[in-house]
Each structure stands twice: as structure tokens, then as C-alpha cells.
Amino acid sequence: MPTAYIYWAFRLLNGCDSMGWRARAGESGFFDKAGKAAADSNGRIISLQQVSKRLGDVQVLNDINLEVGQGECIVLVGRNGSGKSTLLRVLAGMLRPDAGSLYKPGQGRIMYALDGLPRLPFTPREYLWEMGRIRGMRPEILRQRIGELSELLFVGTALDQNLPHLSKGTLQKVNLIQALLPGPDGLLLLDEPLSGLDVPAQEAIVALLRQWKQEGSQIITACHEPLLIERLADQVIVLQKGTVLRRWSQEDLQQAGQPAVSIQSVMEGLEQSVIDALLVDQPGIIACHRGKVRQDDGREVWDWMVSRSSADRIIGIILAAGGSIVSVQPEESRLNMEGLMEGRHPGEPMNTEAAEHLSSISAAGGGLQ
């Protein structure tokens, strides 16, 4: 295999500082002796102050300020040309800012997934193996990580097919796996990570990122999917023509209302009083009632409406009580993404025209970039 080709692909995908984070203009590294990122006196791990960048005749970024602390997730939203990808490249060290200060750790891991993996002339297994070896990962650990992440994202037999023959969604899975290979504890930069993924893979990625966040990783991602914003975001930064239009906190996002999850279960053999004691008074349950009788087996179905953050816990309680799950159906997000990108509050209701526009995009298989 032409390893040099893979090496330059690695440099493209992970920035010129492939084995660490290098200080830029005005920067100083601040890692503790254990190699973990150490915050400055204000609790920041990463800080951009009045960063600007021009590409050709276009001012792509203008006076960007950004701060990220330990275990925080920042989500960048905006339309095409708003500067999201350029900002990620600056953070990765692939582009040097023309003005301003960029502070980030002088050593440590940086993991970067571009918006789309090139159709390189390798199989995913070959590509991921070389990417891991270039990073210095030990063969036994690398082999295990490729297997675990491929299983997590349902890559299956595509692992040994040629990249040019894979679908967009499978290519994106490989793209994400290469970024996730080193494991948590570092800076993770993701450009539209859920684009093209099927629903199970989206859920798996969001769950993994949530775990990494809890373990202290810093995540900065450009995305347009409400799922990631609702589950992970500590702050949403709205970019418009290279400037910060609005910043929304986690509290602002919560005002949009948490999506509910509809659960159908069979509680066969359990008395009403037992069900009441075990479930009805549980926090996170919005409503529950006995539903219709199943035509196939005549068993009575219970309908539950629960908050999405409580869904896993409630399902576990139902199963522990001897019930069984018939179906789980999430509601659509209540975040107004169209309004969010225009700078309106996340909780502002979506008007009919915007809702129809988003529905037409979804039906066409496209998305907001």
C-alpha cells in the first residue's frame, strides 16, 4: 500500500500538527504533567480572541471570539459560506489566522473529521489501519478500536470493500471512525458529523460523544441536526458571513422544550397498583394510559409519553418490572433550526412556511449546511 499517500491524507484530515497541538501566534501551551489539557485561570482550555481570516478577496472570519472549557461542547450553526468549516480548520491548525489570538494546548490529541471523506483507493480497514499507525497507536489497540467503532456504527462487510464503491453514509462512518480512533481526552473537531448517517448510527455517535464529553473531551462541531444540539450542546454559536450573529446557552436551548418519546409496552400480569407504584410517579413521565388491545395476541398495550432524557431510564424500569417494549417512537425536535440560523431564539415557534421548507428538504434527502 502507498503509505505516503495515506500520510498526506492524514495531514489533510487532521491538520499540519498531526501528532499534537502546536502554538500559533500569541499562543502558549498549558498541559499538566499527566498530559491532560490544563485550563487557564478563567477555566478555559481553548480560547479565540478577535480571530480573523481572509481567503483570497473574501473575509471568511471576522473578529471571532470563542472559549471552550473542560468537557464542553460548542455547536456552530449557519448557512453555507458562514465560516463554520474555516473556523474548524483554524482550530485544527490547518489555517493560520490573519489577526487575533488563538490559545490551545501545546501538546495532546486533536481529532478532526472533515465534511466528507475523499474516495481514496483503499478499503476502510486499510485506510483506518494506516491512519492509526501514523498516529502511533499500538497494533493490538488499533485493531480493537477499529473493530469496536465499526460495530458501533454498523459498518459490517463494508469494512473490506473499496472506499470508492461505498455510499455517502458509509463513507461518513469511516470518516468518523478515523477521527475517533485515539479515544477520548483531547479536542474533537467535527464538520457535519451526522450528515448522511442512518438513524441508528446517528444515535450511536451522539451517545458516544456524550460519553466522551462526560470524560472531559472538548467537542467543537458544525452541524444542522437538532439531535446533536439537544443532546450535547453547552453553547450554540450562530455564524453569518464570517461573524458571530448570536450565542445561545444551554438554558436558551432548553426553553425550546425537550422532545418527548412515545413508548408502547405490554405490562402483562401486573396489577394496576403495582404499575402505579413502579412507574406512574417516576420523574420524566409526562403521561401514561392503557391503550388498545393488540390484535395479534390480545394483550393490552400501555402508552407512555416521557421526556427524551428519561426514556432510557423508563424503558429500563418497564423491563425490570416484567413488562416488554412494543415500540419506541421519538417526537420531532422542537428546535426551530431555520429560525436559529437567522439569529432567532431557539424556542421561537416555527412558522408554517419554514416548516414546509424543512419538510421539502427532508423529503429530498438534503440538509442545511
Look at 16-20, 281-285, 358-362 and tell me which has the smallest mean pLDDT.
16-20
The answer to whether the beta carbons of residues 77 and 191 sit under 8 Å apart is no
How far apart, in whole angstroms, are the C-alpha atoms of residue 355 and residue 134? 46
Residue 238: how many other CB atoms lie within 10 Å: 22
What ranges make up the beta strands (E) of the chain?
A: 44-55, 58-69, 73-77, 99-103, 110-113, 187-191, 218-222, 235-240, 243-249, 260-266, 285-293, 300-307, 324-330
Look at 34-48, 164-178, 288-302, 305-319 and tell me which has the smallest mean pLDDT.
34-48
C-alpha distances (whole Å) from 199 to each of 337, 339, 359 are 19, 24, 17
User: Measured in whole angstroms, how far is the alpha carbon of residue 115 from the centre of its chain?
Assistant: 13
pLDDT score for 171: 95
The single residue listed with the C-alpha cell 470524560 is 215
Q: Is there a common fold for 3-254 and 260-330?
A: no
pTM higher than 0.85: no
Per CATH, the number for 3-254 is 3.40.50.300
From the list 226, 169, 230, the residue with the least C-alpha distance to 198 is 169
The yes or no reply on domain 260-330 and CATH 3.30.70.260 is yes
State pLDDT tens for residues 37-89. Answer: 445 444 457 889 999 999 999 999 999 999 998 899 999 999 999 999 999 99
Give the cell for residue 299.
394483550
Give the cell for residue 327.
415500540
Give the cell for residue 232.
450535547
Domain boundaries, the chain: 3-254, 260-330
How far apart, in whole angstroms, are the C-alpha atoms of residue 297 and residue 35? 59
- The average pLDDT across 217-228 equals 91
How far apart, in whole angstroms, are the C-alpha atoms of residue 315 and residue 325? 8
The answer to whether the beta carbons of residues 326 and 264 sit under 8 Å apart is yes
